[in-house]
């Protein structure tokens, strides 16, 4: 299909409105376009995210044999993500990211109205997709922290808060005009006087601030876990590389806010629309990728090799990291983060490169998680069962607590 942003359309518009178009709005200006780079970037991001999610699906189903709530939510977010990618490309194709003069003088009224409606639906989908992706992350954190009471409550409160903030975000988009409409008419349009509307920039900046706060809350949780660990600083840094790629998401979310501000309060406001759509696709994609990193461990064993041979106890010894004291690393996994008397999360960090189900033998073999990061956080030190790591299984010298089977 031929793009409506072609040379013929521009020539026709200039010929039809010789007295209405300002002298500084030239043919060359109207021809300028950043559509192609934006579409390429969006397709690249979408393809990369799809590959990562496919690998996550394979790892969870084939290697773990289980599909948790966090996985269902992550893959549920892929549906609106794909829809948003398609709508973004359509909006770019229609000319939404061209110079503002193009939208005013070249774009026809039906096409302009269509872009307004598509933008309306695209950002409802965008907001929903981000919420589902974040809830996926919270479900993952809840799974690995199911025995740490305070952290579990913090995760629940964060989830409730995110859902509560989602309501005003959606309301701002839906009720941006009175009477309610999907249109967001420009000041030069004939139907502008028919509606009383909030500035789109004000709506988007407000939603961007809320989105940034949600990202900060989401990715503060792994920071809390890492901070509480009694391990060497170098090990914390390495673990942060796995659990905290969400810092990239926060940076992208901040970039979106900047583009929204530029788009609203710049005379050529639509010129930043293509980068804005690209950043929004990247924001959703990076959220899904960041929360999928732990599940990809089997595919990047060498990258995470340091975890396969790491056992750090509160005393700093490494003897339990070897099978039978032979000095050979055990096949262990990040399995247990326990609360000591001073409230610090300590005990062993165990990492296993397989997706075996972890069981707590003292709890009768209750399953405790199915990812390589199947962490168990003690219930704030209130577990009545003694946490004596010198207790060992009759079948091996490995501590009974959380022995991987």
Three-class DSSP labels, 350-404:
CCCCCCCCEEEHHHCCEECCCCCCCCEECCCCCCCCCCCCCCECCCCCCECCCCE
Over residues 93-98, mean pLDDT = 92
pLDDT digits (tens, 9 = 90+) for 316-336: 444 444 444 444 444 434 434
Over residues 136-164, mean pLDDT = 88
Contact 46, 285 (CB under 8 A): yes
CA neighbor of 117 nearest in space, from 185, 167, 197: 185
| Main-chain phi, psi angles of 325, to 5 degrees | 70, 20
The pTM of this model reads: 0.74
Residue 300 in this model has a pLDDT that exceeds 60: yes
Q: How far apart are CA 250 and CA 256, in angstroms?
A: 10
Q: Please, where in the chain does CATH 1.20.1070 lie?
A: 7-299
Which residue's entry shows tokens 């990076």? 286
Residue that wins the pLDDT comparison between 241 and 323: 241
Contact 329, 398 (CB under 8 A): no
Over residues 204-226, mean pLDDT = 87
Fold classified for 7-299: Rhopdopsin 7-helix transmembrane proteins (1.20.1070)
pLDDT of residue 397: 37
Whole-angstrom Cα Rg for the chain: 26
CA neighbor of 138 nearest in space, from 59, 55, 50, 77: 77
Which residue's entry shows tokens 């890492």? 226
Residue 393 in this model has a pLDDT that exceeds 50: no
Contact 404, 358 (CB under 8 A): yes
Worst-scoring range by mean pLDDT, 177-186, 207-216, 336-345?
Answer: 336-345
pLDDT of residue 210: 94
Over residues 243-259, mean pLDDT = 83
How far is C-alpha 137 from the geometric centre of its chain's CA atoms? 8
pLDDT of residue 241: 72
pLDDT of residue 5: 55
**pLDDT band, residue 73 (cuts 50/70/90):** very high
- SS3 (DSSP) at 307: helix
pLDDT of residue 122: 96
Average pLDDT, the chain: 75
Residue 212 in this model has a pLDDT that exceeds 70: yes
Worst-scoring range by mean pLDDT, 77-91, 108-122, 372-386?
Answer: 372-386
E strand spans, 187-311: 196-197
Residue 141 in this model has a pLDDT that exceeds 60: yes
Percent of the chain with pLDDT over 90: 35
Per the DSSP assignment, residues forming a β-bridge with 229 are 345
Which of 10-14, 190-194, 314-318, 352-356 is the most confident on average?
A: 190-194
Residue 169 in this model has a pLDDT that exceeds 50: yes
**pLDDT band, residue 157 (cuts 50/70/90):** very high
Worst-scoring range by mean pLDDT, 59-63, 74-78, 125-129, 246-250?
Answer: 59-63
Angle between the N-to-C axes of helices 109-144 and 273-290, in degrees from 0 to 180, rounded to the nearest 10:
20
**pLDDT band, residue 301 (cuts 50/70/90):** low
Q: How far apart are CA 226 and CA 197, in angstroms?
A: 46
pLDDT of residue 3: 53
CA distances from 223 to 220, 245, 258, 292, 311 (A): 5, 11, 26, 17, 20
Contact 292, 56 (CB under 8 A): yes
pLDDT of residue 64: 67
CA distances from 404 to 66, 365, 377 (A): 16, 11, 16
pLDDT of residue 123: 95
- SS3 (DSSP) at 70: helix
Over residues 173-179, mean pLDDT = 94
pLDDT digits (tens, 9 = 90+) for 350-365: 433 333 333 343 334 4
pLDDT of residue 13: 80
Residue that wins the pLDDT comparison between 238 and 290: 290
- Number of Cβ within a 10 Å radius of residue 396: 12
The single-letter DSSP state of residue 357 is P
Over residues 117-131, mean pLDDT = 96
pLDDT of residue 364: 41
């Amino acid at each position: 299909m031929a793009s409506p942003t072609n040379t013929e359309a521009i020539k026709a518009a200039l010929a039809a409105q010789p007295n209405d178009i300002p002298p500084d709005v030239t043919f060359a200006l109207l021809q300028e376009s950043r559509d192609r780079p934006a579409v390429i970037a969006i397709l690249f991001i979408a393809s990369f995210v799809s590959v990562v999610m496919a690998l996550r699906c394979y790892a969870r189903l084939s290697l773990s044999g289980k599909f948790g709530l966090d996985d269902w939510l992550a893959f549920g977010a892929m549906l609106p993500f794909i829809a948003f990618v398609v709508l973004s490309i359509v909006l770019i194709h229609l000319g939404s990211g061209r110079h503002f003069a193009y939208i005013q003088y070249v774009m026809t009224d039906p096409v302009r109205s269509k872009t307004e409606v598509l933008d309306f639906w695209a950002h409802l989908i965008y907001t929903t997709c981000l919420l589902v992706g974040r809830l996926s992350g919270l479900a993952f954190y809840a799974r690995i922290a199911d025995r740490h009471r305070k952290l579990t409550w913090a995760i629940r409160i964060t989830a409730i808060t995110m859902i509560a903030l989602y309501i005003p975000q959606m309301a701002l988009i839906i009720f941006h005009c009175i009477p309610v409409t999907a249109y967001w008419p420009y000041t030069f349009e004939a139907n502008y006087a028919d509606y009383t509307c909030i500035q789109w920039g004000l709506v988007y900046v407000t939603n961007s601030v809320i989105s940034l706060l949600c990202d900060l809350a989401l990715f503060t949780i792994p920071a809390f876990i890492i901070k509480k660990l009694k391990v060497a600083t170098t090990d914390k840094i390495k673990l942060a590389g796995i659990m905290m790629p969400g810092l990239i998401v926060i940076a992208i979310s901040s970039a979106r806010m900047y583009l929204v501000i530029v788009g609203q309060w710049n005379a050529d406001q639509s010129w930043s629309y293509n980068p804005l759509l690209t950043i929004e696709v990247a924001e959703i994609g990076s959220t899904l990728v960041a929360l999928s990193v732990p599940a990809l461990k089997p595919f990047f064993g060498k990258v995470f090799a340091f975890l396969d041979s790491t056992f750090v106890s509160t005393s700093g010894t490494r003897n339990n990291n070897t099978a039978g004291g032979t000095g050979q690393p055990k096949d262990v996994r990040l399995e247990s983060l326990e609360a000591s008397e001073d409230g610090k999360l300590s005990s062993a960090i165990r990492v296993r490169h397989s997706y075996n189900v972890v069981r707590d033998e003292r709890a009768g073999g209750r399953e405790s998680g199915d990812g390589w990061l199947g962490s168990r956080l003690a219930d704030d030190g209130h577990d009545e069962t003694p946490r004596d790591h010198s207790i060992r299984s009759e079948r091996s010298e490995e501590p009974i607590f959380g022995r991987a089977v």
